[in-house]
Amino acid sequence: MKRIALFTSGGDAPGMNAHIRAVERVGEKRGLEVIGIVGGYSGMIAGHFEPLDRIRTANIIDRGGTILKTSRCEEFLNEEGRTRAADQLRKHGIDGVIACGGDGTFHGAHALWTEHGIPIVGTPGTIDNDLAGTDYTIGYDTAINTAAQAIDKIRDTADSHGRLFFIEVMGRHAGFIAMDVGIACGAEYIAVPETMTDIDELYRRIVTQGRDKRTVVIVGEGDELGGALGISKEIQNRYGIESKVSILGHIQRGGSPTVRDRVLASRLGAASVDALLAGRSDVMIGEVAGSVRTVPLEETWATRKPVPGYLMELATILV
C-alpha cells in the first residue's frame, strides 16, 4: 500500500480537521502518500482529488468544519454512481480509503468494498453519537458543550421573565445530546426519540416548578410529537399554557473542537491508517472504554446504540 485517500462525508462535525491532520501526519510517517477527496462522495465521483501534506494540514487542528468539505450525494445511492466512484479511485491509484462520517457514510463505504473490492476503513464523525461500536463519536463533545452554553443563556431570560421554554437540540434518531445537556443544564423534563413523551407528566412538572418560575424543557429533534414545536402546541392545546420555543439547530455543528474531540479525532485517525496497512477493510475504528476497537461496518448501524439507562434514571431523579 503506497497511496491512500481520505474524505469526510455527511454532516460536518467539529474535530474532522484534527482527524485529517492525523491521517496525513501518520501516513507520512508510514511512508504513504495521502490524497484528500474534496466534497465527500460527490467529489469522489467527480474526481476531485488533491494531495495532502504537512503544509496543507498545518494550523487546522483548532478549526471547526472540514477543509475537505462534505456533501450528501444522491448519485452515490445507485450502482452506477458507485461504479464511477470506484473507477476514479482506481484511476488515481488509490490503494485504500479512510471514510469519516456517520451511518450514511458507512453504508456507502460498505458498498464500495462489497461491490468493487475497494479497501476502506471508517471513522465515526457525527455529533449525534449514534454509532454502535464506539463510546463517543468525533464532534459529540463539542456539540454538547456548545448546546449547554446556549441553553444556559436561554435559561437566564427564562428566569427573568418566568417563562416556559422548549429548547430543541439535534439528534434525529438518538437522544444522546438531549439527555446529556438536559442533565447538565438542569432541565425540568427531557424528551428524547427513544421514549414516548408523556404530556401529562410534563404538565405536572411544570406545575410543580411553579407557573411564575423559569422552566426549561430539552427536546431532541426526533421526538415523536414533532420536536419542540410539536410539544409546545400540545401543551397549549391541552392545558392552555403558553411557551417559547428555541431551536438551536446547526450552531451545534460548528465552532472550534474541544480538547476531547481533538484527541479522539487524532487517535482514531492514526489508528485508521494502521488498520489499512494491516490489511483491515470494511470496518470502523472506534474507542470503547479508552481502548481502540475495530468493528465491522455493518455492526455500526445494525444494532441501535442505546442512551444509557442510568442517565434516563438520573434525569427523572434530578428534576
Superfamily of domain 141-253 in the CATH hierarchy: Phosphofructokinase domain (3.40.50.460)
pLDDT tens-digit series, residues 263-312: 999 999 999 999 999 999 999 999 999 999 999 999 999 988 999 999 99
pLDDT grade, residue 215 (50/70/90)? confident
Which are the contacts of 156, defined by CB distance < 8 A and separation ≥ 6? none
- Domain chopping of the chain, boundaries: 3-139+257-302, 141-253
State which fold the 3-139+257-302 domain adopts. Rossmann fold (3.40.50)
Residue 211 confidence (pLDDT) above 80: no
Q: Which of 12, 103, 128, 223 is catalytic?
A: 128
Percent of the chain with pLDDT over 70: 98
Same fold, 3-139+257-302 and 141-253: yes
How does pLDDT run across 58-100, given as a tens digit for each residue?
A: 999 999 999 999 988 999 999 999 999 999 999 999 999 999 9
145: buried, middle or exposed (CB in 10 Å: 19+, 13-18, 0-12)?
buried
- Please state the pTM of the whole predicted model: 0.94
**Cα separation, 179 vs 193, whole angstroms:** 10
128 catalytic residue (yes or no): yes
Write down the pLDDT at residue 130. Answer: 95
Can you give the pLDDT at residue 187?
93
